[in-house]
Structure formats: structure tokens, C-alpha cells
Chains A and B, each alone.
Chain A
Amino acid sequence: MRLLQAIRKMGILYVCCRALVAYLDPGSGSLIVQVLIAVVVGALATLRFWKARLLNLLGIRQEDDEEDADTEALPHGD
């Protein structure tokens, strides 16, 4: 919870639902927690990226995730 408060105080929030057709109440907590999760997940993705590059550099091949075959052409690295 302290982490959440810290993020809020840092003023990096720009979370809102401006679209005219939105009809769900997203909930303040759900909006705030997305910022935190985005930070954590983004950091982990960066770590994974550099880990993969390092392993690649060392000539160590990582096993592909076979279940990812169905996500061909997705806009984001899975």
C-alpha cells in the first residue's frame, strides 16, 4: 500500500476514462493499481529482454514456449 501511495504522490498518474461511450465504473483502486502493475511488469519484461540477449551472446539457447504458437501476429511480444 505504501508503494501505491508513493506512486500517487509522484504525480505520474494520468489515468482517466474520457471516452463518451464508457459506461462501466472502473473504480479508483483499479485505475491506480494498473499503474503499479504496469511498472512492475514493464521492469520484468526489460529484465527478461536483457537476460535473453545475454544468454544469446553466450550462445545459450532458450526453449520456446510451445503454447505461444496461437498468438502469431499479436502486437506485443509474448
Chain B
Amino acid sequence: MSNYENVGGSFRDPSGFTFVRDGTVHRQVNAVYREHYNHLMESGLYAELTKRRLLVPHSEVDASAHRIPGAFKILLPQQAPFISYPYEWCFSQLKDAALATLDILKRSLKYGMILKDSSAYNIQFLAGKPTLIDTLSFEIYEEGAAWVAYNQFCQHFLAPLALMSHKDVRLGQLLRVHLDGIPLDLAASLLPKQSYRKLGITMHIHLHARARSRYAGQPVVKVSKSGKRLGKKAILDIADSLRAAVRGLRWDHQRTSWAGYYAGDSYQDAGFEDKRKLVSDYLDIAAPKCVWDLGANTGVFSRIASERGAFTVSMDSDPGVVEENYLKMKARDEQDLLPLLIDLSNPSAAAGWANEERDSLGERRNADCILALALIHHIAMSNNVPLRRIAQFFAQLAPWLIIEFVPKHDKKARALLISRQDIFEDYSQETFEAIFGETYEVARRDKLRDSDRLLYLMRRRTTSKRGNT
């Protein structure tokens, strides 16, 4: 029997909604959207956007088999291997998603349509490219109508990018709280005065914020006396202006604390090569289809997995290294890699209406194997997380674990204790093996050359060795 489940974040748009059937995401097109859907498919817009990988391709499936009231069509879109959110993207990911949205807007107008929403959540990185996944985001353009989604674009894309560029890259995290984008009055108040030097930011954020405040609650629908209208060219001009504003925003990622980690003295060359070889061997044994690399830095080890064809989510909490990872991925057109900004000590929570619109990181788990390299000392000592809790967390995420144990006398571990009391008496190889042994069986263990670090391939036990104790 088929199992239907509505997707939590898909309920606002009356044009349709997404649902999961037997583990596969489908999209229902409601009868009210019939005219717009037909125009999208028949005008050539769908063909152009999918050819350019700007819109997710779909096939139509038999709607009658689903027996859902109001359905005009049921679509089976290409499945996204992992759904990520704008607050998990680095600066350039958000920027590229913004530029893709504007590109789609302009191409839509060419075919007599317009974007009726411009939510950053409608963009996903499919095979490395920002792609619109909401096929129902288009409506037939009526000459004279303004762009309804203009404010949403400014809040979801321009405001966070401007704050990240002009003030502090960490302000992108305001998107975690403001799910419908950063309110423009807030963005305007946080931006420095120098931001007025940029015409695009002055118009689309500062002036826009004041106009919204000035005309809040006032009706504006007025038929022209002089016959002039806000025409298609005006919308294209606005799109061009937004594009110039977005492209003009930059962020220098080289200044963060983890940038240049591999170029420093963290690894001896021989030890580093040894580790690469061992990780490769372990991955051959585990043969995962999907890998999560936790604390991935710039993704050196993530690439060992992705180059084997495993879809790899490459997570780090440092915006600079995620930026570098993404730029490298983009330059090399790596399609099985997804760099994301994730802080393991506070991973993305469930959010939105009824806490169901945006899933927590744990709810999106899909990995067969976790990579946790040069990570455990940071979690255990910098964040004071007990080893047993770390083992339990990893075990919830995937059946396989490739983990590096960094002993306390290692240079990098000592650096963490340089200004604080050592309260980690239990942090030792013996305790580590005993505690992780409760949850995992050790399939391989190797000492890394030129250091006392150890690498383990572990497989989750079907029942915990500790039982119910």
C-alpha cells in the first residue's frame, strides 16, 4: 500500500504542493494553476530552463492513481539527494542562488511569464548548480503588473548578502531566525553608512525599507491617468539592477581562522598521504552511496569519497573554508559534492510553522558513512561533549564511521588546552575505544605515519553492547 506524506514546508501556495509517496517526492499541480502550468510547458520556457539546469526537470505521472482532490497533474521531479537551506550556505552559494533566480526571472519574461515567488528555499544545489525546484513558481505575466516577489528577493538574497559583505559574514545566520528573509528595516539599520555608496544597495535596501515603512497598510492599486504603465522593460531593468547589486557584493574568505589549515603544520606530508590512502581503503570497504564529512575543512577528504561516486555533504562551521570548498567545487564542476556551513555543536534545528517547514539536520540524515577526521578533540575538548554522547550522535547518523583519534599529547590537541584547565582525564585512546566499542565494531584500525594519531573504520552494532544500562 502506498504511503503518502505531505512535505511540511509546502502549504502556502494554492497552486499545488509537494508530498512524499513511498519515499519519493512528488508535486501536485492544482486545477487553479492549469493555465499557468500549460503555458510553462508549451511556451518553451520549461525546455529552456531545464536545458540550462536552472529548473528541476520532471515527468508527469498518472494523476488518477493518486486520487488526490483538486489535482490537475502529478509531477515526479528529479530527486534532490539532500535538501539544504540558505542559512547553511556560504556567501558564494547564496550569491549564485540569487543570480540564478534573477536569470530565471529574465528568461521567464521572454516567454510571457514571471516569477510569482523568489524564495531562497526554492533553490537547491543539484549536481553542484543552483536550481529552482518549485515548478509552480511561474505565472503568466500581465503587462503593467509589478513584480510581486520583489520584496521577497530583497529579503531572502540581497539583504543577507549585503550584510555578509559590508558588515560581517556571520550575519547570514540571521536567516535562521527570519525564515522569510531578513526584514529590510533591520538590514538597513545594521548596514554601515558606506553601503550608501552602492546605488543598488541604496535603492533596493535603504530606500525600499523606508518606502515599506511609509506605505505600510496603504492601498496602491491605481489605474494610470496618463496611460503609462510599469511595463516588462521596467521589470527587466529592475532585474538588471538587482543583478548588478548582487554581483557587486564580495567577501574575502581568506581571513578566517581555518583558512590555510592544510598549508600550515597540521600534518606532516607523509602522514597526510598515509591518511589519504587509508581513508580511500576504508571507503572501498564501506562502499557508501552517500557520505557526510563532518568538520570537512576545504573538503580534501570529502573529495576522496565524491570522486568514488558517493554523494558527499561536506560540512564545516567556518564560513571561510566552506567558501573555499564551494569555489573549488564550482571551478572543477564537481557534481557529487555539496559543501555546507554546519556547526556540529549547534546543527540546524527544525523551524517554521509547527516546526515542520524546515527539517533539522538529523531529520535529513541520508548518509551511509560518516567521516570524522581530526574532529573529535575539538568536540570533546573545545565543546566539552562527552565521548559517549559523540558516539551516540554519530551512530544516529549512519551505519559506518571513519574516525581519527587525536591523542591529548598531539600538538593540535595541546593547543586547545593551552589557556584552560585540563579536565579531560578520560580522554585517552583506551577510553575512546571502550566507549565507541559499545556502539560500534571496529573493522579496521591503523596508526598514521609520523604521528600518534589513529584511524578507525567502525561499523554500527545492530544492538548496543551496553544494552539498557
Contact = CB atoms under 8 A, between A and B. Distances in A.
Interface stretch (B226-234, B300-308, B335-343): B226-234
Size bin of chain A's contact surface: 35 or more
B418 interface: no
Contacts of B33: 21
B146 A78 contact: no
B124 interface: no
B237 interface: yes
B226 A37 contact: no
Nearest to A78: B240
Nearest to A35: B230
A38 B238 contact: yes
Contacts of B213: 29
Q: Which of B144, B147, B216 has the most CB of A within 10 A?
A: B147
Contacts of B210: 1, 29
Interface in B102-152: 103, 106-107, 109-110, 116-117, 139-140, 142, 144-152
A67 B247 contact: yes
Q: Which of A21, A36, A76 has the most CB of B within 10 A?
A: A21
A25 to B, nearest CB: 9
Interface in A25-78: 26-38, 40-42, 45, 67, 71, 74-78
B467 interface: no
Given A15-B220, A17-B145, A30 B208 contact: yes
A18 B140 CA distance: 11
A9 to B, nearest CB: 11
20 contacts: A11-B222, A14-B223, A15-B146, A17-B145, A19-B140, A20-B32, A21-B13, A27-B215, A27-B216, A28-B217, A29-B213, A30-B154, A30-B211, A31-B146, A33-B208, A34-B150, A36-B203, A71-B103, A74-B107, A76-B236
